[in-house]
Amino acid sequence: MRDTTIIKDIELQPYISSDDLAGKAKALLAQQKGSWELLSKGYKSLESIEVKNFEFEHFKIKVQFNPGRIVSSSAKVDPKSIKERKCFLCPDNLPGDQKGILYKDDYILLCNPFPIFNEHFTIPKTGHVPQEIKSSLPAMLELSRDLSRYYTVFYNGPKCGASAPDHLHFQAGDKGFMPIDSEYCGIRESLGRKIISCNDLQVFAIDRYLGKFFSFESSDSEAIVKAFNSFYNIFSATSPNTGEEPMMNILSFYEDAKWHVLVFPRAKHRPSYFFMEGDDNILLSPASVDMGGVLITPLEKDFNKITRENIVDIFRQVTLQDETFGTIAEKLARLYS
């Protein structure tokens, strides 16, 4: 890695409000907005985005018209296309003005130049290794605790939203931006059920939310990792592509001295609308942020025409069917009974 890629403390100092990683990240963003043109343009264009809300009982879904996301939403992520492009997360390929914060010698925290959030970061591993959650969940948990003052951390599986499936990375965005950040407890109580309560660990199956998910709560990260691994193995066994990571998006936030890890198992990456021709087409590629309640439409035509029925149908298509979800919940619960 070029040593100029890591930002110096002295460059961050004028912007620092707190000395934890969250405070440093916030400072990095302020520094980079002033020194990296692509980033300041990205945030400028964020000022003109449009948002509309769809109210459901117990939660809402926001739709964000964000033209800056066209590259990501329509990205070719097949192995051939990936092989032919230069990896944009490898430290040696970063633009000269892009600086990052080294995290535990293993990850580098960077500002995302195509933001969805008011503050949006990408946190790739320093080395070029594939996107893979099983071995990296412990790191994700630590990261979400260290960023917890301001940010929620998220993970997109290599086949369901990661635009660099060949390079391990997480993302982080300001807390409160996704409706689920503030709605989670209400959703859990109204639309979910507790399936595991064991010492310090609680697991919930939230099966009446639009995007069904499992949530793992504990102050003990090892208990979460162990339960997640059990979930992973059960979910893998239901998926036809053995050997590949089963599709999922994950949100993690640390609050009241415990982790809250929300795992959205996916049935498919892109809904049928993505592939339709003419008026029926909606260019929308759901990933973690969409699962958290913010659907991103990079094209204005889609933002204007998307209906409540489309939204319900999109979630129905990309998340697990009731029966599969229920079976996974049952098998997981049985391991702890």
Residues engaged in binding Zn ion (CB under 5 A): 87, 89-90, 128, 167
- Taking the complex as a whole, the smallest distance from the CB of residue 93 to Zn ion amounts, in Å, to 7
Q: What is the DSSP letter of 240?
A: S
Specify the amino acid at residue 106: D
C-beta of 86 vs 242, nearer to Zn ion: 86
Which token pair is 130?
């594939």
The residue nearest Zn ion at its CB is: 87
Query: CA–CA separation, 262 vs 264, rounded Å?
Result: 7
Q: Cβ 89 to Zn ion, closest distance in Å?
A: 5
Q: Whose Cβ is closer to Zn ion: residue 124's or residue 179's?
A: 124
Specify the residue, 90 or 139, whose C-beta has the smaller distance to Zn ion: 90
Q: Do strands 59-65 and 294-297 pair parallel, antiparallel, or not at all (unpaired)?
A: parallel
The residue among 99 and 167 lying less far from Zn ion, judged by its C-beta, is 167
CA distance to 177, 202, 209, 214, 324, per residue, from 196 (Å): 29, 5, 19, 11, 18
Is 162 in contact with 156 (CB distance < 8 Å)? yes
Q: What three-state secondary structure class fits 124?
A: strand
- Using CA atoms, how far apart are residues 58 and 336, in angstroms rounded to an integer? 29
Round to whole Å and give the CA distance between 303 and 280.
13
Beta carbon of residue 121, minimum distance to Zn ion (angstroms, whole number): 17
**Smallest distance, Zn ion to C-beta of residue 96, A:** 17
One-letter amino acid of 11? E
| Smallest separation, CB 32 to Zn ion (Å) | 20
- The minimum distance between CB 139 and Zn ion, in angstroms, equals 17
Look at phi and psi of residue 278 and say left if phi exceeds 0, alpha if psi is from -120 to 50, else beta: left
For residue 239, count other CB atoms closer than 10 A to its CB. 16
Q: Which is nearer to Zn ion, 128 or 270 (CB)?
A: 128
Tell how far CA 272 is from the center of its chain: 22
Q: Distance between CA atoms of 86 and 131, rounded to whole angstroms?
A: 16
Query: Among residues 49 and 87, whose Cβ is nearest to Zn ion?
Result: 87
Q: Which is nearer to Zn ion, 89 or 314 (CB)?
A: 89
Smallest separation, CB 171 to Zn ion (Å):
15
Among residues 36, 11, 5, 30, the alpha carbon closest in space to that of 99 is found at: 5
